[in-house]
């Protein structure tokens, strides 16, 4: 069943270049996206000071969610992912649309909120042939190298 869910994605055995270094690139992209999200949240916090002091974590969550949905629905990648030349593909190989971006971001946010799913995701990304994380496997999606597009 798993192979049917991801049949439109490049085959990791015969097209390994699509998945080469993806876990490391995702980590770098996450760091870039985190920095962008913090910067955007700080701007929002300054605009809403002093009330923002009490709501900073909520602002961060909202900004992060909106940032991920907007960038993934537009480019099938966040700005960090674009900088490291990876993008997200759906199970049929197509790019993300808005509903897929919302679901992916929701699952990413939930799994990132708890340490156990985070650890599981990291282990999966390093060991799965398609370098998929927990939320990717759940949706049947994968991050692939953009330069390897056919």
Q: Where are the beta strands (DSSP E) in the chain?
A: 86-89, 142-145
Phi, psi of 145 (to 5 degrees): -70, 125
138 DSSP assignment = H
| Reported pTM | 0.88
Give the model confidence (pLDDT) of 103-147 as tens digits.
999 999 999 999 999 999 999 999 999 999 999 999 999 999 986
DSSP-assigned letters across all residues of 8-45: TSPPTTT-GGGTTTHHHHHHHHHHHHHHHHHHHHHHHH
Give the model confidence (pLDDT) of 16-65 as tens digits.
999 999 999 999 999 999 999 999 999 999 998 888 888 899 999 999 99
How many Å apart are CA 21 and CA 144, to the nearest integer? 9
């Amino acid at each position: 069943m798993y192979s049917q869910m991801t049949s439109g994605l490049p085959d990791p055995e015969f097209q390994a270049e699509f998945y080469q270094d993806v876990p490391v690139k995702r980590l770098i992209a996450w760091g870039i996206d985190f920095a962008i999200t913090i910067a955007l949240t700080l701007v929002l916090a300054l605009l809403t000071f002093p009330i923002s002091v009490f709501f900073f974590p909520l602002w961060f969550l909202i900004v992060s969610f909106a940032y991920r949905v907007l960038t993934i629905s537009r480019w099938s990648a966040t700005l960090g992912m674009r900088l490291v030349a990876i993008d997200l593909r759906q199970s049929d190989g197509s790019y993300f649309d808005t509903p897929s971006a919302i679901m992916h971001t929701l699952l990413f946010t939930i799994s990132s909120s708890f340490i156990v799913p985070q650890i599981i995701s990291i282990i999966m990304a390093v060991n799965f042939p398609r370098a998929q994380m927990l939320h990717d496997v759940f949706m049947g999606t994968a991050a692939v190298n953009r330069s390897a597009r056919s």
